[in-house]
Amino acid sequence: MKRRILLIEDNENNRYLVTFLLEQHGYEVVHAPDGPQGLHLANQARPDLILLDIQLPGMDGYAVVRALKSDPATRSIPVVAVTSYAMCGDRERTIAAGCCGYIEKPIDPDTFVPAVERLLPESGGKDVP
Amino acid sequence: MTLSIERQVITGFAVTLLLFSAIGTVSYRSTTQLASNAESVKQASEVLAQLAGILSLATDAETGQRGFTVTGDESFLEPYHGAAAGVRARLLALRGTLVDPAQQRRLDALELVTTERLDVARQIIEARRSLGFEAARDMTAKGMGKQVHDRLRAVVREMQAAEEAILREREEATRATARFTVTVVLLGAGIALLWVIGALLLIQRSLRLHHQVERALREAHEFNQAILDGAEDAIISGDAAGIRTFNRGAERLLGWSADEVVGRHTAAIFFDPAEIAQRAQSLSAQLNRAFAPDLEVLLVKTRTGQPDEHEWTFIRKDGSRVPVLLTVTALRDATGAIRSFLGIARDITAQKRAEAAMRKSYDQLALAKERAEAADRVKSAFLATMSHELRTPLNSIIGFTGVLLQELAGPLNAEQRKQLQMVRDSARHLLALINDVLDISKIEAGELRVDAAPFDLRASIEKVAGIVKPLAEKKGLRLDVTLPRESVETVGDPRRVEQVLLNLLNNAIKFTERGSVALTVRLSVSHLEIAVSDTGIGIEPHDLATLFRPFRQVDSTLTRAYEGTGLGLAISQRLARLMGGELRAESEWRKGSVFTLALPLTRAPAP
């Protein structure tokens, strides 16, 4: 069974890039363009990991991660912040909001997938084909 | 000296009066004495005359008796008959005159011998008449008459001598009295004169003193008046009965002349009754005591010894109003009782106007500040948006070129690979530029925050050295990194320290064609110093001064393969400062440069 990653990202190009990279590495990717849809999908699809853009229109990433962590159904899913904020304190703020990791934009195809895999909980056995 | 003028004058006149009384008394007594002495002298002279008269009468009687004896002619007896009556009269007069007891006794003897003398004359006369001439002649020859006459003469002489002695004595007494009188009068007059002169001098001096005091008083009064008139403020004094002082300043301020108000009005005419009532009310509330709405409210505070300073609206003579700052002080008399008040009022129209203007400009300032802050918020939001909007497309460019270069989408030929690499390098360069511009904007706006947490410097240095090593190798430069033996903990933001070191190393490699780039770490007392030195072209002294200014490129002709904004050093220095450190540059033209990043050492155990 392929490991499933939920990507919440408003920019279509980035969604495509991340999806392409991860699918190339054998992951199943579901994505949502904003927070509310992301929360819905997190409940529906039960992903193994959520990649979350912080700067989302409307409901921002911090609100999304707090909502995920307050819902018992999604509480245990690890959330990784993917953001181009890159400012002092951002890392701390995302961790404080409930994220378990932080990947900085722009995404470097050479390092992105290894970074995601480091944050993915080891469960389910056969993950990479 | 301590006596008052009045006392001095009275004492002077009293002493003079006493002196003149004394002189008068002494003179009176002396004069009386003189008169009495003169009377005595006259008496003595009379006594002497009487005595001489008695002797003369006795002699006349003898002569008459002798004539009758010789002639028997009765007419010769004329003196004899007269003598007897004359002697009696004189003796009687002497008896009334003589007072001296010795003379009285002698007078008794004189009376006896006189009587005897006249008796002898009568016996002889009778003998002549009855017995005839012979018998009378025999009686005379026997010396009857002569004997008694000699005795009479002797007594008279004795009395005359005694009376003359008394006379001399009295004359002497008179002279003495006269001398005494003259002495007393002269002396008294002299002393009195001295007294009068002294008193005159005293009075003159007192008058002079009095004039001096008067002049000093007048001058003091004029000076006080000058002060009052010279004062810019209105100075008003008075009591419940009315105004007493009203200076020029008050006239100017209130439009009343001093003559119109002094003694005719109380200060109440200047006040607005509504304000007085308001003040009474607020004082009642403050002091928890009821105060009537009258002028007494001005004195409430002054009774505790402090002046009452309060703003009022004064009403001028023409009814117009003027804002004043009034300071009221209680005026106390010598016993400490409050008798009147002193009010000093200052026109604060200009101040009020200035306050209003200031309030207005303050409001405007607050508005401007609010606007500026709003603009700032807009700017910050703009920066954040820009950061996101600019990076998002770059994210795609860099990401997809990377994906293509990984040949995940299919194999590439050599030319495609080369061109895609150029796209990726350009995109990375653009990203670096954007990051620099955003960094410097945030720093200049004071919005960039850095961590000040302890971190391991060794790891950071190893990381940046690893990044720049391929670049140095590509240019054939030696990269010497001297790491401290042990891990060094310092305080700062590791990402920013790495950014600075990367910038310095990139610069050093960029501007060095031959030789080496070295990184050394040195510990000082309070700082950790990381020096990046090179053997490159160096920097000319006049360029060193502007090295850390943003948007400055020391040599714009130099080609820049990477990071061409000229912001790197400006950002690096500001980051160093934000972390409590410093970035210094030293250089020798054509020999090389040394950039030193100083960071504070680990502080006491960080939380």
Calculate mean pLDDT across residues B568-583. 89
Partnered with residue B592 across adjacent β-strands are B588
Convert the pLDDT of each residue in B242-290 to its tens digit. 899 999 999 999 999 999 999 899 888 899 999 999 999 988 888 888 8
Cβ of residue A122 closer than 8 Å to a chain B Cβ: no
**Are the C-beta atoms of B325 and B311 separated by less than 8 Å?**
yes
In a domain, A111, yes or no: yes
* Domain carrying residue A25: 4-118
In a domain, A124, yes or no: no
Q: Determine the Cα–Cα distance for residues B130 and B132; give it in Å rounded to an integer.
A: 6
Inter-chain CB proximity B395 and A24 less than 8 Å = no
Chain B residue numbers touching A84 (CB-CB < 8 A) = 387-388, 391-392, 395
Across the interface, which of B388, B399, B493 has its CB nearest the CB of A109? B399
Q: Where are the beta strands (DSSP E) in B333-433?
A: 338-347
Number of structural domains found in chain A: 1
What is the value of ipTM here, to two decimals?
0.78
**At the topology level of CATH, where does B352-448 sit?**
Helix Hairpins (1.10.287)
Q: Sorting pLDDT into bands at 50, 70 and 90, what band is B185? A: confident
Q: What is the pLDDT of residue A52?
A: 93
Partnered with residue A30 across adjacent β-strands are A6
Across the interface, which of B388, B396, B406 has its CB nearest the CB of A55? B388
Chain B residue numbers touching A91 (CB-CB < 8 A) = none
Inter-chain CB proximity A20 and B408 less than 8 Å = yes
Per-domain residue ranges of chain B = 5-203, 234-347, 352-448, 450-600
Between residues B346 and B306, the one the model is more confident about: B346
Across the interface, which of B398, B405, B408 has its CB nearest the CB of A106? B398
Residue among A21, A85, A88, A113 with most chain B CBs within 10 A, to mutate: A88
Residue A85 pLDDT > 60: no
Report the CATH number of the B5-203 domain: 1.20.120.1730
In a domain, A126, yes or no: no
In a domain, A62, yes or no: yes
Q: How many CB atoms lie within 10 A of CB B553?
A: 13
Q: What is the pLDDT of residue A129?
A: 37
Residue B604 pLDDT > 60: no
Q: What is the CATH number of the domain that holds A82?
A: 3.40.50.2300
Convert the pLDDT of each residue in B153-179 to its tens digit. 888 888 888 888 888 888 888 888 888
Inter-chain CB proximity B392 and A11 less than 8 Å = yes
Q: How many CB atoms lie within 10 A of CB B500?
A: 30
Determine the distance in angstroms separating the CA of B502 from the nearest CA of chain A, rounded to an integer.
17
**Are the C-beta atoms of A11 and B392 separated by less than 8 Å?**
yes
Inter-chain CB proximity B403 and A21 less than 8 Å = yes
Nearest in space to B174 (alpha carbons), one of B284, B36, B311, B56: B36
Query: Which residues, including other chains, have CB under 8 Å from residue B193's CB and lie 6 or more apart?
Result: none
Q: Are strands B592-600 and B242-246 parallel, antiparallel or unpaired?
A: unpaired
Q: How many CB atoms lie within 10 A of CB B87?
A: 26
pLDDT, averaged across chain B: 84
Residue among A19, A56, A84, A93 with most chain B CBs within 10 A, to mutate: A84
Q: Determine the Cα–Cα distance for residues B62 and B259; give it in Å rounded to an integer.
A: 115
In a domain, A128, yes or no: no
pTM: 0.46
Domain B450-600: CATH superfamily, name plus number: Histidine kinase-like ATPase, C-terminal domain (3.30.565.10)
Q: Which of 3.40.50.720, 1.20.950.20, 3.30.450.20, 3.40.50.1390 would CATH assign to domain B234-347?
A: 3.30.450.20
Nearest in space to A83 (alpha carbons), one of A117, A60, A113, A59: A60
Q: What is the pLDDT of residue B556?
A: 47
Between residues A48 and B548, the one the model is more confident about: A48
